[in-house]
Copies of this chain bind each other. A is one copy, B any other.
Amino acid sequence: MNEVSINKRVIGVDVSLETTTYAIVDVRGNIMAQDSFPTEDYPDINAFVAKLSDDVMSMIESNGGYDTIRSVGVSVPSANFQTGCIVNAPNMPWKGIIPLSAMLRDRLGLATAVGNNANIVALAEHAFGCAHGMKDFIVITLGSGLGSSIFSNGHIHVGADGFAGEIGHTCIHRDGRLCGCGNRGCLEAYTASKGVLKTACEVMEESDEPSLMRGVEHLTPKDISGFCDQGDRLAQEVMRRTGHILGLGLANYASIFNPEAIIFTGGITKAGKWLLEPAKKAFEEHVFHNIQGQIKFLMSALKDSDSDVLGASVLAWGVKEYSLFI
């Protein structure tokens, strides 16, 4: 990297369902300035791009000016890195195919890259987190959905059409639970938020034991994790079942990919040992024998609030500085 680049900075943007966060980040991952606004206030994509561009421009002007900024990286659900588009994001307000990279580049006059949020988290782990120095690893993001990202030979594996990593929609139980994607028995239908709550309902129905999970329909996975810590046996059973099926799915994944480690992030993984101990047990029972005991389960050490903008900044450094003229 030449001297100019070291003095330069990039913009990292994280677009999630509720909040859009944008930051100026230097080459070492220091966040120099950061701000955010509610995504859902901009159901029209043109209004959203205008708001984001104006805010980013104001931030740039009060933090060293336009010449200090090299490029822009954006983390967004269902993004295709190769085309720079958001493609049929099921939960976002903007439907169809949105050329977000081109729209931002045109307004900001800066080279811009867009990446799937699951891949972006893997970039952050590789550059600044516990996957630093690893060539082959998997990152599992467990929250409202189950996302995953694969590093192969030191690079993200995006796949032929840019859609690799949909472990959430692999079938773990034939004719099992209906998933939001339309298929049955998907791993996500058991291990992401709605799936955990469904398991909680099942556990409550099966047992007469007293439990803190009264009124389970109003709970969140975070509540259930809290009850686990308080010694609630039924809450622990919910996480045990969730972990067991997660471990099965990850064993299949690892038998195919042979990663060095699986790194966990996202709200549900805050359940910690209640989830990951049964997951690791089921994993070791089912993974191919040649790699049994070889694969590390690691909790992400990055702050949730930082990892997306940091990963987006890594993506930004990867864009050619003058690619907007090509």
Tell me the A residues contacting B by CB distance below 8 Å.
87-88, 134-137, 148, 150, 152-153, 155, 157-167, 169-171, 173-174, 181-183, 248, 251-253, 255-260, 285-286, 288-291, 294-295
A290 close to B258 (CB less than 8 A)? no
Of all chain B residues, the one with the shortest Cβ separation from A155 is: B153
Hey, which chain B residues are within 8 Å of A181, CB to CB?
288-289
Hey, which chain B residues are within 8 Å of A134, CB to CB?
160
A160 close to B259 (CB less than 8 A)? yes
SS class of chain A's interface: helix, strand, loop or mixed? loop
Give CA–CA (A166, B170) in the complex, Å: 16
Query: Contact partner of A257 among B157, B182, B248, CB < 8 A?
Result: B157
Of all chain B residues, the one with the shortest Cβ separation from A295 is: B160
Least Cβ–Cβ distance between A46 and chain B, in angstroms: 25
Least Cβ–Cβ distance between A282 and chain B, in angstroms: 10
B290 close to A170 (CB less than 8 A)? no
Query: Contact partner of A291 among B163, B173, B174, CB < 8 A?
Result: B163
Query: Contact partner of A153 among B88, B157, B167, CB < 8 A?
Result: B157
Hey, which chain B residues are within 8 Å of A295, CB to CB?
160
Of all chain B residues, the one with the shortest Cβ separation from A296 is: B160
Hey, which chain B residues are within 8 Å of A174, CB to CB?
173, 248
**Provided the pairs A167-B255, A288-B166 are in contact, do residues A152 and B160 lie with their beta carbons within 8 angstroms?**
no
Hey, which chain B residues are within 8 Å of A255, CB to CB?
166-167, 169-170
